[in-house]
Amino acid sequence: MNYNKKSIEDINVAGKRVLCRCDFNVPTKDGKITSDKRIVAALPTIEYLVNQGAKVILCSHMGKPKGEWKPELSLKIVADRLSQLLGKEVIMAADVAGEDSKAKAAALKDGDVMLLENTRYIKGETKNDPELSKALADLADIFVNDAFGTAHRAHSSTAGVADHLPAVCGYLVQKEVGVMGKALAAPERPFVAILGGAKVSDKLNVINNLLEKVDTLIIGGGMAFTFLAAQGYSVGSSLVDNEKLDYCKEMLSKAQAKGVKLLLPVDTVVADGFPSPIDAEIAVSTVDSCAIPEGKMGLDIGEKAREEFAAAAKAAKTVVWNGPMGVFENPVLSAGTKAVAQALADSEAVTIVGGGDSAAACEQLGYADKITHISTGGGASLEFLEGLELPGIACLQDK
C-alpha cells in the first residue's frame, strides 16, 4: 500500500464544495459532550479549508444507531461545540444526503461550514451502499478524509464517496499515515515493538507482520501467558488461549530464525484472581514468570520485566506500543503499563502509541506531549500494524 497520499495542500479548494469526513464520534452523557478531543483534533483541517475559501461540508458517524434515527445520537451537539471553537456558525443539516442537505449545500458561500446528520442514521452507510456514496458525492466537488479512526472501514462516507470525487487526506490522516507509514516502511533502528492486551487472537497478524520488521518484539499483558505456556512453563490460573499454543510456538521459532529478540516478562505480579470490581483492593506478590504457582493469576509484569522492557525502549530509535502490560485500571496492577509509558516519554526515539488503553495510559499519566505520535484510531492502528490495506486510505489519490 502506498502511504504517500495527496493532502488538502496538494489540491485547489478555493470556491469548491469540500465534503470532509471527520471523526466526531465523541463520548456524551445526558445530552452533553464529555470530551471534545476529537472535535479539537479536526480543527486544523477545517480551519485550513475555511481560510482557503472552500465551502465546507462535514460528515461523521456517532455511536451505533444501526440505520435508525435516534435523537440521542444526533450530531447537533457537535455542531454547537464546533461553532464555539471556530467562532462562527456551523450550519446543521436535518438529514444525511437528502433534500435539506442538498438545499443547504447549494446555498453555501465561500468559507461557510455545515455539518450533515449522523451518517449511520442511513442503513446503507456501513454497507458502502453505492447510492448513498453517490448522493454524498453529489453534494461536493472534492472529498477529504480526516477520520483515521474509521479508515479501516469501507463505508460510504469513508471510501465509497471517493469513487465519484477527487479524494485527498486532511492533516490528521496525513500525520497518522506519515508517522506510522514511515515507522513500518523505513524505521530508524533499533526498531522495538511492544505489544500488550489480553488476547493473542486479537494480535495474531500483528505479531506475524512485526516479526518481519522489528529488531526486538516485547510481549506483555495477558497474552504473554500463552507464549509462556507454549514454552512448557507453569502459568497457574493465568489467561491462556489453548487454541493458540501452536501459533505461539511458530512465532517463537520465527523470531529465532529472523534474529529478532523476543522478550517475555521474566517476572509477574500475581493474585488469587481477577479483581472484582476492577479497581478493588487486591493482595499481590511477585513470582518468576516460568513458575507461577497453581491458583495464582498473572495480572501485571514484575519489577525485573519493567526494567528490562524500559531499557529496550530507551535504547531504541523507533518504538511502537499497542496494549497495556496488565490490568492497569487497578492502581495496584498499573506499574507495568506506567513503566512502559514512562520509558517512551523518557526515550529520544520516535515513539508511536496506538490502541485505546495505551493511549489512555499516556494521557492519564500526563505523558501525551512527550510521545511523538498517539494514534487516534484503535482498530485502524492495529490493522495498520498488521500491514493491511485501509480502505479509507487506499481510496485517496497518490502523490
Write out the catalytic residue numbers. Answer: 38, 199, 356, 379
Residue among 394, 398, 390 nearest 151 (CA): 390
- From CA 261, how far away is CA 253, in angstroms rounded? 11
**CA–CA distance, 196 with 221 (Å, rounded to integer):** 4
Look up residue 255 and give its three cell numbers. Answer: 523470531
> Strand ranges (DSSP E) for the chain?
17-21, 28-29, 32-33, 55-59, 90-92, 113-115, 142-145, 167-169, 191-195, 216-219, 234-235, 261-263, 267-271, 285-288, 291-292, 297-301, 318-322, 350-354, 373-374
The pair phi, psi for residue 320, each rounded to 5°, is: -115, 130
CA–CA distance, 2 with 334 (Å, rounded to integer): 38
- From the CB of residue 211, how many other CB atoms can be counted at a distance below 10 Å? 17
Q: State the pairing for strand pair 267-271/285-288.
A: antiparallel
SS3 298: strand
Closest CA to 296 of 219, 221, 228, 234: 234
- In a 10 Å sphere around its CB, with 0-12 CB exposed, 13-18 middle and 19+ buried, how is residue 12 labelled? exposed
d(CA 108, CA 114): 8
